[in-house]
Structure 1
Amino acid sequence: MRIPVRVELDKRGIDLHSVRCPVCDDDLESVDHSLINCKFARDVWSRVHKWWNFSSSSVLNVEVIEGKCGHSSSAIGQKIWQAVVWVCAYYLWKNHNLKVFRNESWSASVLVSEIQVKAFEWISSRIKGKSIDWSNWLVNPQVFLNL
Structure 2
Amino acid sequence: MSSLTGVQVSTVKDRWKWSANSAGLFLVKTVKRMLKEEVVQDNSFVIDWCKWVPAKVNIHTWRMEMDRVPTAEALKKRNVGIGDSICPMCNSEEETVEHVFSACFIASNVWNGISSWVKIPNIYAFSLKVLHTFYKDLNLSEKKKDAMQGILMIVCGSLWRARNNAKFSNSPIRIDSILSEIKALGFLWFSNRSKHKGLEWREWTSFVNM
Question: In the alignment, is the contact (CA less than 8 A) between 1:45 and 1:60 conserved in 2?
Answer: no
Cα pair distance change 1:129/1:52, threshold 3 Å:
closer
- Aligned partner letter, 1:99: A
Q: What residue in structure 1 maps to residue 156 of structure 2?
A: 89
> Aligned runs of 1:107-122 on 2, under 5 Å?
107-122=174-189
Aligned pair 1:55/2:145, yes or no?
A: no
Q: What residue in structure 1 maps to residue 57 of structure 2?
A: none
Question: In the alignment, is the contact (CA less than 8 A) between 2:114 and 2:179 conserved in 1?
Answer: yes
Query: Unpaired segments of 5 or more residues in structure 1?
Result: none
Question: In the alignment, is the contact (CA less than 8 A) between 2:165 and 2:171 conserved in 1?
Answer: yes
Q: Give the total of aligned pairs.
A: 142
Aligned pair 1:45/2:111, yes or no?
A: yes
Distance 2:209 2:130 in 1: 19
Aligned pair 1:35/2:101, yes or no?
A: yes
- With normalisation by structure 2, the TM-score equals 0.62
Query: Unpaired segments of 5 or more residues in structure 2?
Result: 1-64
- With normalisation by structure 1, the TM-score equals 0.86
> Aligned runs of 1:18-29 on 2, under 5 Å?
18-29=84-95
Structure 1 residue 143: deviation in Å?
3.7
- Aligned partner letter, 2:158: Y
* Comparing 74-83 and 46-55, the one that deviates more: 74-83
SS of equivalent to 1:35: helix
* Structure that is richer in helix per residue: 1
Distance 1:137 1:59 in 2: 23
**1:107-134 Cα shifts (integer Å, max 9, x gaps):** 1011101100100111111223543121
Q: What residue in structure 2 maps to residue 80 of structure 1?
A: 147
Larger RCO: Structure 1 or Structure 2 (Cα < 8 Å, ≥ 6 residues apart)? Answer: 1
Distance 2:77 2:105 in 1: 24
Q: What residue in structure 1 maps to residue 138 of structure 2?
A: 71
- Aligned partner letter, 1:104: S
Distance 1:110 1:137 in 2: 17
Question: In the alignment, is the contact (CA less than 8 A) between 1:87 and 1:119 conserved in 2?
Answer: yes
RMSD: 1.8
